[in-house]
Structure 1
């Protein structure tokens, strides 16, 4: 009996529950209520789950009254007469745009990825829609078209931000907000969420994506965060701490290009190795293309670094301040309207950073007295306007001064030797941008930019006879070099079905160069050059198989300066996997029209000078890139391998035997190698290791042996280790170690013998972060070259030949053991 009684009770409960379930009613009373608000009330009242575009549905006002026996009938009544549809996915009711009863032939999803809290567009963010991968443009925009899915499963990630995994209905104005990992949430604990950390590799051939969040925690973060982050990446040479350029995959100086908001940066670093030519307060995202890049990018034979600047706060004003024992830096962001803002930034050194100890004269019988003088300052201004449809307009301006000089005096038994050297670099530039996404998924952008570098270099050396009070002139030379580049570019992209995307563009480029050289008050060189060219490109992204994408492209330049055309075909093949493994390959031809020619002067110094290729005396550089890569990503572990082979023809080298005699030689070169990158993220910590095995060789007609020999920037091995840890919640510790096997230091331009000192540098830092209300503060210390290892710079020292036996070196850029105390706050 008890068993039967229990069964009867269970059956009764089941019957009552079923009756209650079948009798579930939904009572609504809406009068001219926005549809989005109506759905929110229903969700709260009946525990229903909806997914919809809040901005889109807020435009529809409904009047519905009655009782409905099912959710299906309720939704049909709410959406009656509206160009909307609904679909049940699992236990979520997804509402999306579309005429009821009419199945569209294609579904479009488009929108923007923005930073939560500031509304900053997150350029170069990664979007995963089903099996397809996308990368947002400089305004954070993306678009995708499909004829299969009416509801899209999308995953959005940006370096240093929490990943968003969501469902989206078709539409052209989605806003995806990503929360930075460093965003202070004192009362909210986010658990079991994924953070896209410091570096992304393997998405395309030779591509590295970086963020500026992670740079805030690296040693020396205040003034040189861009280079500090770049130098730790595989394939970007850190050893030698070159002063004005980046060596990317064996590229010669001047063959790689750094751009900030579309403006060419003619020198990434300045005389002081700890100060970058780009204010870190102004940077947002960094894209490094080491080689094999597609037809839409610039005409360079080496690599590219594209830096997207901040667009400023539009919700409220903000102020950023930084000070260490070298520079002051400040930035102000102020809204001008709900959709526009103005950003101003300024920094400068506030005392002389060099002293007599920067001269290596330990092996000399007679000491040298040196008086150096140095000043650096720069300024940025940017106006930006955002529209509701995702379009972006901005005007960006920059200017900077980097002046270094010294006087050296050595008193000997009979003579006193004097030398004074000065170099001044002034860079100015401006850019304008307008980009817009159309409702059908197409997009276009117009970009214009101009930047110039104005440099003067002077050296004067004379000898005074102490006994007879006579003075003898040695060298009296002044050189002024002005280089500029302007461009105006229009490109348009449209989306076809199956994620096929076609882009084309047209660009006009103007280069100017003037060189004036005086020797002993006599003009020995006075030349001005200007060159115009137009370039057009077309590229297509074709899905061959569900996970294989083929991207052919063609770039064509016509130079009015050389009266010749230069076609550059480029190909990419990418395996896009939803799993852990991905692979890519690329081949491309590249031409470069404004180049740096190497120069051996009469004092034995090796320098580079800008020249315009005329196709005769100065050839147009020709390069080819072969790139292959593979990547493995699982949970918080990333492994990536890139292999490359590059050739370059049309190198030019001046050899100056004395003040009146010089010869010009032409040459060629190649580089090859492999990069290995390993990264592990755990909790709030990250560590990565990169190793580069590379070779760069060259051949010039003046070589004694008609064969290739090591190029000045050739380095066989480079190992980098970086780690960041957080402990006690607000303390952050970071360390970076770089080892390089060294560059060949040739005795002179004819010698085949060289020395090869290695490079070793350990940097460490300890920071403390604090937040009080709207004020965020950070204080700490960085120890650069903490072990005080003596390192030889790559082409960064000035030689003073005193006689046949002795030479002094003015090592103006040496980073010895350097402690940097800093304080930074923002509100």
Structure 2
């Protein structure tokens, strides 16, 4: 609850769902308030709310971004009451455009800290790379969240690495949330209802990662009529079909997306096949499929089945050399929700998820293959119990069975075939249970505190841990609140990589006797302030996070063909700290926000950098985002996004020495490196512009979305390498020249979106 009602001798529970009138789906994070009682709450992930009110006549008012407010007057006598509320889309939709669905008042009074809520429908307003809306990239525009490199959809949250984010899709774990080698996320904006990001003050129900939780919820299908929506873009198209299976009882939604870059590259390769100087273009495409069925069994029970399948394929093929690389995620989830009564309900789900990649190449008569995978079967149950108007309990349990196949290599030639096992196959069990209490002391002070007990068993070794969580909010006045939080997190699965980025060739590895689980502790404190008659929201958060048993590789480690990969690990510690400042304009024809982060992120290992701490590759001193959205008229909306960031830290050789054997062969040149990550790439900055033009079709809705990525053609660095400067006459090396590689120049795009 956001506010606490005055004390009464007796109160009763008012509960129900807030739903979209046109789509019949639940609205997550909608506000339900009773202003005369100074009482209110927000809906949960299922669109469900509960209020405690005294007997008498009360007016419920429900509101949600992009919808018309609705109110209902009810009379409470001597029993609990169920009230469902339906919201219609606003006829002047986008009059007040903002990407964050939580209202300023909700942010001010919510006990939780470091939470960002994103609704899919609002993310589609922002400029997009190649016209492909990416929810993860919108999150990167928030303070405390950084991208790894140009085009990357990976998240680096408050000094954590990309693998330290818990990414959930309808409660099922997603291991690699990216397409196109990290340039796009796996989330189809048409299939996603909402994304909630926790940067700190983690609720006790989440565990298994150190730095953040990304909770993604899929759309429910329409219960009243069949609807079709989609979009046609320059590099990809998407299509969504939804409708009732049984009116007001059961619904379905299916959504698919595919790129077609491979169609054009194959045509070019075919046309240039006879050109001896032509180098074939690699073949690449990705596609993903989402589906969800929802069945309302009765007033108390609801059953849903959801699934996801994503696949990426990259290949190169000519007469002498063939290379293939494919990877993907698969998820299936079944969920049952049961209401015991108006103040006690349960959500139980079972799921299976898998991630794998395969690499194959062939040179003449020799071929080499590499693969790795992880497969899970999981179970989770959560209970919500409203004890009183002061106490709201959450408790539950989870268990997951993991199966790992670590870096298997196959070698094949015309006269020989061998299979090398890089490491071993592992099986592991992860489990946890939790309890938390949302305690409203009075109208000014509230707490959320809880405990998570987690465990992990693999290879005969069992780890157990307690993970306390706590946060508090105090309202200094109706427009100003201060907050503080503490969270302890454990991570039992490790993405072993010396790149620091969540690329598909990295290997997931379990905690074993020789590889202990990682742990983080984070404290944060902040202030939230509403001013300008509710037009502006200002927040400032300070955080400090320390991490234990961080993993990296020894220099020269053998990553793939290795029967004992643990021998290549190094274990160390890390710390990160910073200040996140956020200013958002919430009302008017022009809205948007400014986010700024000042931060530091370090790691320290005995066997690296002489034992001295060093900045991580994603350490970024300054990170600035400016987002503007302007409603020019009812049909045309303009958007702009500017980002600036300190260049990523990286290592370069500071000198080289050459040695030559006694026979006088060509000299071998060996680079000499200074401290790790002691250099910085050039600063990163970019301006994107966009426009959404609403069309007037005879049936349904449609629009044209225009985007220009990197308007002033800034050649931002992707990486730096050295090329030799040679004297061709004497066949000798004169020196080395640093060269920068950039990915994207200015990229215009247009997408046609439709719905009928």
Could you tell me the TM-score, scaled by structure 1's length? 0.76
- Equivalent of 2:538, from 610, 620, 639? 639
Q: CA deviation at 1:264?
A: 2.1
Distance 2:68 2:390 in 1: 26
- Partner deviation per Cα, 1:490-535 (whole Å, 9 max, x = no partner): 1212112233111211111222211233275551515211111321
Return the offset for 1:708.
1.4
Alpha-carbon shift at residue 773 of structure 1 (Å) = 5.2
Q: Radius of gyration: which is bigger?
A: 1
Q: Which moved more, 1:631-640 or 1:747-756?
A: 747-756
2-structure distance, mates of 1:636, 1:224? 27
Partner of 2:446: 549
Q: Does 1:396 align with 2:306?
A: yes
Provide the C-alpha distance between the structure 1 equivalents of 2:596 and 2:97, rounded to a whole number of angstroms: 25
Match of 1:822 among 743, 751, 756: 751
Deviation at 1:734, TM superposition (A): 0.9
Unaligned runs of at least 5 residues, structure 2:
1-7, 267-276, 413-417, 654-672, 727-732
Q: Are 1:756 and 2:681 matched, yes or no?
A: yes
Contact residue 371 and residue 408 of structure 1 kept, 8 A: no
Q: Please, what is the CA RMSD of the aligned residues?
A: 3.6
Deviation at 1:138, TM superposition (A): 1.7
Pairing 1:476-625 to 2, within 5 Å after superposition: 478-518=369-409, 521=412, 522=418, 523=420, 525-561=422-458, 562-575=461-474, 579-599=478-498, 609-625=506-522
SS of corresponding position for 2:647: coil
- Match for residue 60 of structure 1? none
Q: SS at the partner of 2:13? A: strand
State how many pairs are aligned.
683
Q: Deviations over 1:148-194 (max 9, x none)?
A: 4544454433343344465444444211223334x578xxxx9xx98
Asked if 1:156 is matched to 2:62, the reply is: yes
For residues 477 and 88 of structure 2, the distance between their equivalents in structure 1, rounded to whole angstroms, comes to 24
Q: 1:381 to 1:329 in 2, by over 3 A?
A: same
**In the alignment, which residue of structure 1 is the partner of 2:134?**
225
Structure showing greater relative contact order (alpha-carbon pairs closer than 8 Å, 6 or more residues apart): 2
The change in CA–CA distance for 1:746 and 1:151 in structure 2 (over 3 A counts) is farther
Cα deviation code 1:690-729 (max 9, x no counterpart): 1111111000112233221101211111110111112232
The verdict on how the C-alpha distance between 1:292 and 1:127 changes in structure 2, with shifts beyond 3 A counting, is: same
CA distance in 1, matches of 2:736, 2:250: 61
Structure 2: distance between partners of 1:743 and 1:116: 47
Partner Cα separation in structure 2 for residue 802 and residue 620 of structure 1:
47
Does the Cα contact within 8 Å between 1:420 and 1:461 map onto a contact in 2?
yes
Residues 321 and 361 of structure 2 are in contact (CA less than 8 Å); yes or no, is this contact kept in structure 1? Answer: yes
Residue 325 of structure 1 and its aligned partner are, at CA, apart by 0.9
Structure 1 residues 274 and 533: CA distance shift in structure 2, 3 A? closer
| Counterpart Cα distance in 1 of 2:721 and 2:344 | 53
Matches for 1:19-418 after TM superposition, within 5 Å: 105-129=10-34, 130-146=37-53, 148=54, 150-164=56-70, 167-170=73-76, 171-181=80-90, 198-200=100-102, 201=107, 203=110, 204-220=112-128, 223-238=132-147, 240-241=149-150, 243=152, 245-271=154-180, 275-338=184-247, 339-352=249-262, 369=279, 371-386=281-296, 389=299, 391-406=301-316
Tell me the CA shift for residue 789 of structure 1.
1.3
For structure 1, the residue ranges without an aligned partner over 5 or more in a row are 1-102, 357-366, 410-417, 463-470
How many Å apart are 1:801 and its aligned residue?
11
Cα pair 2:223 2:244 within 8 Å, conserved:
yes
Q: TM-score, normalised by structure 2?
A: 0.82
Alignment of 1:734-749 (within 5 A): 734-747=639-652
Q: Return closer, same or farther for 1:245/1:485 CA change in 2, 3 Å cut-off.
A: farther
Tell me how far 1:607 sits from its aligned partner. Answer: 8.8
1:448 to 347, 350, 372: 350
Higher alpha-carbon deviation: 447-456 or 692-701: 447-456
Deviation readout 1:9-65 (Å, 9 max, x if unpaired): xxxxxxxxxxxxxxxxxxxxxxxxxxxxxxxxxxxxxxxxxxxxxxxxxxxxxxxxx
What is the CA-CA distance between 1:250 and the residue it aligns to? 1.3
Q: Residues 452 and 484 of structure 1 are in contact (CA less than 8 Å); yes or no, is this contact kept in structure 2?
A: yes
Separation (CA, whole Å) in 2 of partners of 1:400 and 1:424:
11
How far is the alpha carbon of 1:317 from its aligned partner?
A: 0.4
Aligned partners of 1:687 and 1:651: how far apart in 2?
37
Aligned to 2:327: 425
- Residues 241 and 123 (structure 1 numbering): CA distance in 2 closer, same or farther, change over 3 Å? farther
SS at match of 2:24: coil
**CA distance in 1: counterparts of 2:263 and 2:434, whole angstroms:** 47
